[in-house]
Amino acid sequence: MSTALVLVSHSEKLAEGLAELAAQMAKDVTILPAGGTDDGRIGTSFEKVQEAVQKARSEGQDVVLLTDLGSATMTVESVLDFLDDDEKEHVVFAPGPFVEGAVAAAVGAQVGSSLTDIVKAAAAKELFA
């Protein structure tokens, strides 16, 4: 099963820019930015994150979520709380540095690493933690 990344940032531009950067090293990986609020302000959106997760899952992909700041993590935790129990094994939060973690996770997904190894790579900032 392939793995998609959802990048949750307070800034729409930051999420989009990081998705562009990570895609340079992982051209076959689905990387979905979920930045900013629904009305374009700085902040996070439960709906944007949930929609990105649902999009990746509808394509049969596992999902790794990465966040930029604490309240983005709270948004991700809320999305995770609403998942069915069987979905929770396919959608995970990867704590760690946003930029370096996203790039490491993207590379791990590109080479077909397991979901567990991708999360470890994101947290450790390197592919083989």
Q: CA 129, CA 56: separation in Å to the nearest integer?
A: 25
What global pTM score does this model have?
Answer: 0.94
* Catalytic residue chosen out of the listed positions 8, 10, 14, 105: 10
Per the structure, how many domains does the chain have? 1
- Strand ranges for 68-106 from DSSP E: 91-93
Output the CA–CA distances (angstroms, integers) from residue 109 to 11, 57, 121, in the order listed.
24, 15, 10
Residue in 121, 110, 122, 127 with CA at minimum distance from that of residue 3: 110
pLDDT tens digits for 67-109? 999 999 999 999 999 999 999 999 999 999 999 999 999 999 9
- Does the annotation count 90 as an active-site position? no
Whether 30 maps to a domain, the answer reads yes
Q: Report the amino acid identity of residue 28.
A: D
pLDDT, tens digit (0-9, with 9 covering 90-100), for 14-52? 999 999 999 999 999 999 999 999 999 999 999 999 999
CATH of the domain at 8: 3.40.50.510
Instruction: Domain of residue 90: give its range.
Output: 3-124
Strands in 13-122 per DSSP E: 31-35, 62-67, 91-93
Residue 129 lies in a domain: no
- Asked if residue 9 belongs to a domain, the reply is yes
